[in-house]
Structure 1
Amino acid sequence: MQSQDVASRTTPVSGPVVDIEQAEAALVEHYPRLVRLAYLVLPPGLGRTRRVLTAHALVQRALPRGRASASVIPAQATEADGSGDARGGDPGYSLLRLQVVRTALEAGRPLKRAAWPKRSQLPPLFPQVWGLRLFPRSGGADELALDQRLSTLSGPGRAAYVLRGLERLPEDGVRKVLAAAGVSRPTAALREASRVPRQDALLESPEFDPCSLQARPTDLMRRRQHTKAALAAAGAAVVCGALLALPSGGWGPDGAAAPSYAQNPAAQAILDPAKVTKVPPAAWQTSARTDFSVWPARGGLTGDRALLRRALAVWARPGGSVQVSATPGTPSGAPAGPPQLLYAGRVDAARVVIFYDGLRIARYAEPTNGTDGAALDFARVDAADGAEAEAVVLHRADGNVRYLTAPWVTGAAERDLLKPSSGTVDLGPADGVTAPLAGPAERTGSCPSWNVLQLTDDSGTRLLTDLGELTPAHLTVGRPAAPGEASGTEALRIWSPFACSLATVRSQGVRSVNAWEYARQKLPDGSGSAAWVCTRADTWRGDGPRVLAQFHTPGGRYGAVAAKAEGVAACGTKDPHVLAGVLWKSAEGLWYLLAAGSRDTTSVRATGGVTGSADGSLLAVRATQGAQAGLKGTLDDGRTISGLR
């Protein structure tokens, strides 16, 4: 297999030369096709709106600057092959396709500290749409399932799948395009793509068409708040600019920080380690509060004034070498006043400082042998209480995570959410710091385990999961109006098949995720009962929750996503109702439309490609493979609800 990869990277003989006019003609003719190709190859983690805009930007930048060779680019199947595709002989299209694949793969690669980011890795300057969220039209259950499977592939694997399915390239042609696009192991990418069943027709569906879009407004209240904040920031910039012009301005380097604040009392108070708040160790024992405000300052370096000054200076104004990250919706500016110190100490090969300013957690980390490679991370934690204020990520290394836990936590353990009956691994903690916890073990195309943090205190036991951010998300189970902890035997059984779906909400500022088993349905072939579970991920910023309706059949290890939606009230405290359906194939090869609503649903009706109705909250009617149907339900108060999608 290795020899095939090497062979695919050899340079072919000279081929046709494409000038800019020929490429421009191909771009105009095949623009929708190229944008669809870019959209499918781009990583789903970008979010649908940014994915759409990035796909258009990559295609619009794909034109060559002059004359370019198309020799390394294979043609698609032509009409002579029976495919009916007339693009095969167009070297202009082939050149553009190669450029689109190359830049889409670049856009999916993580940024490196030691290298400048490529243009494709940055948010596009153009096109831009202000005040609107744009996303393709939602497809059916099959499209949603395919989108989820593609999200588990690596960038090269996804490109291989799309080139083979959408572009109808033979495997040798796919290898050549991938090699020309910079993929080091194209044969391995093809093998990875083959793990996802081929559904070529679905790639042409509206679900993956970034040229046929739906538009929704952004958060209007937040937009108004941001406008006011921008005006205030502009005024502050004018004042700071005037201070900069003063001849006695005391600006100078401060480790990883940019030139420090101007010499004014408020700014200097923020940078003064002596003014940092340090809560006494026993304050939490007499306080009625269970949030970050009663955490004591811990760690062996809480008295290191130089380290604290450095951390405060970087927070106030990080230098260009500092890697800054923040959960969505979290401001990353300087604190309004001296913050509270939660931790300062050595963790593995780093010095770590954690602050709290009433709204955010800020973590500063630097190597023990200098400040090169310093990092500053922010997480929004306003109104955090109880389980949401029990742990903060202290350090990550080699796929493992150390946590700093609340002073009232009496025990910490590691648990595999996929194995509800398995035991736990004790993590301490010692002085609030846990032993390393192995992060969720996701591998491309599989999810062998999902490790979570189990914390115990005098009030009970709860589960938290790492979603790649500074604060872990709280896992709950039960009806939205009164969810319970996910640590009990029955709660672990409910969560087990759906643990891996947590990967879909990584790095989205998630505060908590609730799993609600809202229905159980006997399967039409008598093979047992399937569970319908709605998982809702709520964010710290309060908007953009992600809701998944999932379906789990007896004997299956994982649940399947039947429907998904973002920014809806369904499955939450304000709208504790849900209705979803899925096409299901029995062991005898018969297809059914199965649908289920929450218990207060009095009737369910299917329209479109499948018709049928039933009293109660469950529906099962015969269907055909690939059928498209709409769902309507009636609640016991007379209101109607639509199927989640």
Structure 2
Amino acid sequence: MPTKQVAPSAAPSPVDVEQAEAALVEHYPRLVRLAYLVLPPTLGRNRRVLTAHSLAQRTLPRGRAAGPEAIPAARRPDGTDPGYAYVRGQVLRSALDAGLPLFRKAWPTRAQLPPLLPQVWGLRLFPRSGGADELALDQRLSTLSGPARAAYVLRGLEKLDDTEVRRILTEAGVTEAAARGALATADGVLPQYELLASPEFDPCSLQARPTDLMRRRQHGRAALVAGAALLVCGALLTLPGGGWGPDGAAAPSYAQNPAAEQALDPAKLTRIAPTAWQTSSRTDFSAWPTRGDRATDTGLLRRALAVWARPGSAVQVSATPGTASGPAMGPPQLLFAGTVDRAAVVLLYDGLRVVRYAEDGNGDSSGAALDFARVDGADAPASNALVVGRTDGNVRYLTAPWVHEAAVRDLLDPAGGSHPLRRSKDGVTDPVPSPAQASSCTSWEALELRDEVSDRLMTDLGELTPARLTSGTPAAPHDVKGPAELASWARTACLLPGVRSHGVRSVNSWSYARQQLPEGNGSADWVCTRAETWRGTGGRALAQFQPPSEKPGAPGAIAARSEDSPACGVRSPRVLAGVLWKSRGGQWYVLAAGSTQFASLATTGGVEGSAPGRFLAVRARQGVQAELNGRLRDGTRVGALR
């Protein structure tokens, strides 16, 4: 492509289908790479790959011409093909649309929906991993807005000047002011444009891994059971029968069940006395007292129970992964009923789940919300708090009765200390900025709770139950304490959005090795972070490489990641990972480190090398691909985390 483009002076005329198709075929890999880089990283690598291909394949004009707004059909003075300019603009517009948030009162655009084609069943596809620089650039781009990412990519990948970038962005639907702001934001990213050509960002050169085979088998069985249940329910719907009465947003009832009807009676709710927890043999949600200024509001409680039993079509229902959303088997326990930020909120507990019902504070249940979270097996730390309300990017917590003090700590500022958090007499906190809802990672406000045992750090990950944060080995995780552990979490916090809304119970960050870097470049920490879920499966682990940094909250580079595996946990307390790293002197190295179980490491493929012990540093070339493995002390050969 040319190094500079100028605005055309000729009047626009249509581009025909053949011209656009020829440009699409010729430049397909480049267009897909452009879409992949501009798409929001929150989609995940597998969906970004499929969406990028889908957007590129939908760029052709629907008729014989691209329309009166198309680029001139004659080649520009600089040699730019107008067909390519047209399809590039279409890809860019669609990729920017895909990053827009969904709104309840507006239909989503086609680009905002998962692609119908292409689809790959049974496999996860993602580009080949690059080096530490590519990972760092990918993380930096993920913090930018869609137009800012597009500006950076158009500069680096298309070699366009700022005037042309601004023109293309405005043609793609970005306002003039937003386009100027995007260019200014892109100026803040180190211009490592050569990295955009790396295999890390090539959605046409892919690796394939299977999806969770056990889960696929379980889903297949569940589909058969669901089909049988649907046939039974269809037969029941044809039977006559009375309902349970008018209950606002609840759907009509067509079946009568004595146990289910008892669960709808507010008078039969289990209510715990305020001091019962002090003598209870269990310290979990079952010991929470009933609280809230509307705990005796029979109408509110009846609506909450009825909507739980049979939510109507207008009710917004959400459930964490692995959480059943069916009705209670009997009268549940009332934890809280009160007004929170102009909403009426009810929290209920049935021994397995916490359920949050919310409606307008004036009693209008037409837009009610119902949220489910699995909490079976919760211990005292996991029962310290629940999310009781979310408003304007803030979150309020309801704390356990045994919590003595509440505070807020910014994880990205390890030396900043904590700040007291006021609570009402019912244990509802003042609003706290929710990191789970933030668009960028400039701070991470974690909840610090002091109970009878310890100070515990918890964080909102977009669910009813905040996740507990710990440090230490998988066999003995403990609450975060001390400057070293806080400093490690400062560089880990911005990676937590990767486990958001996955039913996470706790996240442990374990510094498993400290390696001296070649050429006197200081030392780097190797950290394994594992998220455990309430359902016991589906855990996620990622290994980080944390080189020296002057900024305390600078995120580490993701060296490897693993999903649905026991890696880096109590079942498999070992980890091995490596990165391609560049020294201050400009020399590239393959660096690797293993946990204490490793006796030797070796790398093959693009780089050949080995070393005794659990550390490896081998000279390499930029962009090289290598396979890493190690031997344990018992002689077993083990591969890197993946």
TM-score class normalised by the smaller sequence: 0.7 to 0.9
Say yes or no: does 1:482 pair with 2:476.
yes
Q: Which amino acid aligns with 1:439?
A: S
1:74–1:597 Cα change, 3 Å: farther
Q: Counterpart of 1:413?
A: 407
Say yes or no: does 1:16 pair with 2:3.
no
Of 349, 356, 365, the match for 2:358: 365
Q: Counterpart of 1:342?
A: 335
Contact 2:37 2:153 in 1 (8 A): yes
Of 66, 69, 81, the match for 1:89: 81
Contact 1:342 1:355 in 2 (8 A): yes
Shift of 1:333: 4.1
Among the aligned pairs, what percent are the same residue? 63
Say yes or no: does 1:578 pair with 2:575.
yes
Say yes or no: does 1:637 pair with 2:634.
yes
Q: Counterpart of 2:544?
A: 549
Shift of 1:107: 2.2
Q: Counterpart of 1:45?
A: 42
3-state SS of 1:577 partner = coil
Of 364, 377, 381, the match for 2:375: 381
Contact 2:630 2:639 in 1 (8 A): yes
Say yes or no: does 1:106 pair with 2:97.
yes
3-state SS of 1:310 partner = helix
Q: Deviations over 1:378-400 (max 9, x none)?
A: 32333222322221111122332
Contact 2:241 2:255 in 1 (8 A): no
Q: Deviations over 1:455-512 (max 9, x none)?
A: 1111222111122222211111111111111134443233233222223333333222
Residue pairs, 1:286-435, within 5 angstroms: 286-369=279-362, 370-429=364-423, 430-435=425-430
Q: In terms of mean alpha carbon deviation, does 420-429 or 103-112 score higher?
A: 420-429
Shift of 1:576: 1.9
Shift of 1:454: 0.9
Q: In terms of mean alpha carbon deviation, does 183-192 or 432-441 score higher?
A: 432-441
Q: Which amino acid aligns with 2:291?
A: R
Of 61, 64, 68, the match for 1:64: 61
Q: Deviations over 1:360-391 (max 9, x none)?
A: 32222222133354333232333222322221
Q: In terms of mean alpha carbon deviation, does 164-173 or 514-523 score higher?
A: 164-173
Q: In terms of mean alpha carbon deviation, does 250-259 or 318-327 score higher?
A: 250-259
Shift of 1:29: 4.5
Shift of 1:285: 2.9
Q: Provide the rounded CA distance (Å) in 1 between the counterparts of 2:397 and 2:252.
A: 32
1:504–1:307 Cα change, 3 Å: same
Q: Counterpart of 1:216?
A: 209
Shift of 1:561: 1.0
Q: Provide the rounded CA distance (Å) in 2 between the counterparts of 1:275 and 1:102.
A: 56
TM-score if structure 1 supplies the norm length?
0.87
3-state SS of 2:630 partner = strand
Contact 1:405 1:432 in 2 (8 A): yes
Q: Provide the rounded CA distance (Å) in 2 between the counterparts of 1:80 and 1:287.
A: 82
Q: In terms of mean alpha carbon deviation, does 506-515 or 164-173 score higher?
A: 164-173
Q: In terms of mean alpha carbon deviation, does 349-358 or 521-530 score higher?
A: 521-530
Contact 2:10 2:72 in 1 (8 A): no
TM-score if structure 2 supplies the norm length?
0.87
Of 207, 210, 213, the match for 2:200: 207
Q: Provide the rounded CA distance (Å) in 2 between the counterparts of 1:147 and 1:239.
A: 50
> What root-mean-square deviation, in Å, do the aligned CA atoms of Structure 1 and Structure 2 show?
3.4
Shift of 1:220: 3.1
Shift of 1:260: 4.6
Q: In terms of mean alpha carbon deviation, does 461-470 or 612-621 score higher?
A: 612-621
Q: Counterpart of 1:563?
A: 559
1:314–1:161 Cα change, 3 Å: farther
Contact 2:13 2:68 in 1 (8 A): yes
Question: Which consecutive unaligned segments of at least 5 residues does structure 1 have?
Answer: 1-7
Shift of 1:98: 2.6
Q: Counterpart of 2:3?
A: none
3-state SS of 1:351 partner = strand
3-state SS of 1:378 partner = strand
Of 129, 132, 135, the match for 1:141: 132
Q: Provide the rounded CA distance (Å) in 2 between the counterparts of 1:144 and 1:502.
A: 16
Q: Provide the rounded CA distance (Å) in 2 between the counterparts of 1:358 and 1:219.
A: 29
Question: Which consecutive unaligned segments of at least 5 residues does structure 2 have?
Answer: 1-5
Q: Provide the rounded CA distance (Å) in 2 between the counterparts of 1:14 and 1:259.
A: 62
Q: Deviations over 1:290-337 (max 9, x none)?
A: 332332322111222221222233334444443333334434444444
Q: Counterpart of 1:187?
A: 180
Q: Which amino acid aligns with 1:118?
A: T
Q: Provide the rounded CA distance (Å) in 1 between the counterparts of 2:328 and 2:21.
A: 50
Q: Counterpart of 1:471?
A: 465
Q: Provide the rounded CA distance (Å) in 2 between the counterparts of 1:590 and 1:216.
A: 32
Shift of 1:21: 4.8
Of 153, 178, 188, the match for 2:169: 178
Contact 1:344 1:354 in 2 (8 A): yes
Contact 2:89 2:172 in 1 (8 A): yes
Contact 2:131 2:581 in 1 (8 A): no
3-state SS of 2:491 partner = helix
Q: In terms of mean alpha carbon deviation, does 411-420 or 568-577 score higher?
A: 568-577
Shift of 1:267: 4.8
Q: Counterpart of 1:157?
A: 148
Contact 1:414 1:427 in 2 (8 A): yes
Q: Deviations over 1:118-172 (max 9, x none)?
A: 3332333444334333333333333322322222121222222233333333333
Q: Which amino acid aligns with 1:330?
A: T
Shift of 1:585: 4.3
1:563–1:69 Cα change, 3 Å: same
1:444–1:123 Cα change, 3 Å: closer
Number of residues paired by the alignment? 629
Q: Provide the rounded CA distance (Å) in 1 between the counterparts of 2:76 and 2:595.
A: 51
Shift of 1:347: 0.9
Shift of 1:346: 0.4
Shift of 1:452: 0.8
Of 167, 171, 193, the match for 2:158: 167
1:128–1:468 Cα change, 3 Å: same
Q: Provide the rounded CA distance (Å) in 2 between the counterparts of 1:241 and 1:380.
A: 29
Q: Which amino acid aligns with 2:168?
A: V
Q: Counterpart of 1:5?
A: none
Shift of 1:589: 4.6
Contact 2:14 2:71 in 1 (8 A): no
Contact 1:38 1:104 in 2 (8 A): yes
Q: Counterpart of 1:600?
A: 597
Contact 1:592 1:621 in 2 (8 A): yes
Shift of 1:553: 1.2
Shift of 1:581: 3.0
Q: Provide the rounded CA distance (Å) in 1 between the counterparts of 2:210 and 2:624.
A: 31
3-state SS of 2:158 partner = coil
Q: Provide the rounded CA distance (Å) in 2 between the counterparts of 1:250 and 1:444.
A: 45
1:134–1:297 Cα change, 3 Å: farther
Contact 2:436 2:500 in 1 (8 A): no
Q: Provide the rounded CA distance (Å) in 1 between the counterparts of 2:243 and 2:18.
A: 56
Q: In terms of mean alpha carbon deviation, does 586-595 or 151-160 score higher?
A: 586-595
Q: Deviations over 1:252-274 (max 9, x none)?
A: 87433444554454554444333
